[in-house]
Amino acid sequence: MPTPDHPTPLSLSPETYRAHVAAVRREIAALDEGAVLVGHSVGGTILVYTLAERPPERALTAIVLVAAPFVITSSTRI
C-alpha cells in the first residue's frame, strides 16, 4: 500500500484513499487473465471498494479477503 502508516480505512484522507485505489488499479492492470486477488486487513477493504467502484477489465478467478474490516459510513450503500 502506498501509505502503510494509515491503519484504518476511515483514517485515510481523500488524497490518500485515491493513492491507494490508483495503486490497486495499476497492480490489477498488470495481472494476467484469471488471476487470484488477495487482500489482507485494510488492503482487503481497499480492494473491495476499488472493485466495487469499477470492476476489472480482465476476468478474475477469485477474490480472497483475509481479516478485512467491513467499514460502514453514512455514505455506504448496502
Note the pLDDT tens digit of each residue in 2-45: 555 655 555 677 888 888 899 999 999 999 999 999 999 888 98
Let me know if residue 26 belongs to a domain. yes
Distance of CA 64 to the CA centre of its chain: 11
Q: Which domain, by its residues, includes 56?
A: 9-66
Let me know if residue 74 belongs to a domain. no
Let me know if residue 35 belongs to a domain. yes
Let me know if residue 3 belongs to a domain. no
> Model's pTM, two decimal places?
0.75
Q: Into how many domains does the chain fold?
A: 1
Q: What span, in angstroms and rounded, lies between the C-alpha atoms of 54 and 57?
A: 9
